[in-house]
Amino acid sequence: MAANPTASAPPRPIPTDEELMALPKDGYKRELLNGEIVMSPAGSEHGRKIVRFTTTLAGYVYQHDLGEVFDGQTGFRMKSRDVLSPDVSFVARERLIGLQQAPEGFFEGAPDLAVELLSPGDSLKRLNQKLAQYFDNGARLAWVMDSKRRIVRVHRSLRSHKILTDAEELLGEEVVPGFHLPVATIFAPITHR
């Protein structure tokens, strides 16, 4: 009897938190998107820009006791059971009341602010899938940084965004009150000689 070519394969089981946490620590960022593990290695320039930006954001957040900033290895569990890891994320203080430390596993829901720095291999389709899940799971703001075009897309929802050029200033709005940073600073070249 021939196999039915239109029959769909049984769905793959979604990895448990323990299985995801046990994946190799080999320099690849892994996320669970649409039930599949997606790897996205980043180059050194990507890492440099993320660290420089994270340092600025975290310094401001901690100085004003606004909440916590997390790096791109931190997983956030979506309602879909996907686990996403923005390059930088911020969780407001109100959501942390009563916690002595962050969860050992993944945060439930999206961060208040999700920051993504586009890599050359990032697809717009995958990025939009992630943004949709962030906002569907409680994100209030997302910043998508595009080094190639030297712009930041500021999202308040998947469909509501504005584009900032490197002549403008990035604002934390009501999510990170008082935070502001010239967009040009995000894309600044190495100046050490």
- Residues 6 or more apart in contact with residue 115 via CB below 8 angstroms: 53, 57, 86, 87, 88, 89, 90, 142, 143, 145
* Average pLDDT of the segment spanning 17-34: 56
Q: Quote the tokens at residue 149.
A: 């075009």
Q: What DSSP character marks residue 166?
A: T
Q: Quote the tokens at residue 55.
A: 């340092």
Q: What domains can be seen in the chain, in order of their start residue?
A: 17-186 (3.90.1570.10)
Phi and psi for 161 in degrees, rounded to 5?
Answer: -150, 160
Check: CB of residue 70 under 8 Å from CB of residue 95. Answer: no
**Which pTM was predicted?**
0.79
Looking up tokens 């490197």 gives 166
* pLDDT, tens digit, 9 for 90 and up, residues 60-89: 999 999 999 999 889 999 999 888 999 999
Looking up tokens 């935070």 gives 179
Check: CB of residue 142 under 8 Å from CB of residue 155. Answer: yes
| pLDDT of residue 1 exceeding 90 | no
* pLDDT, tens digit, 9 for 90 and up, residues 109-141: 999 999 999 887 777 888 999 999 999 999 999
Report helix, strand or coil for 7. Answer: coil
Averaged pLDDT of the chain: 84
Instruction: Specify burial of residue 177 (Cβ count, 10 A radius: 0-12, 13-18, 19+).
Output: exposed
3-17, 39-53, 69-83, 94-108: which has the minimum mean pLDDT? 3-17
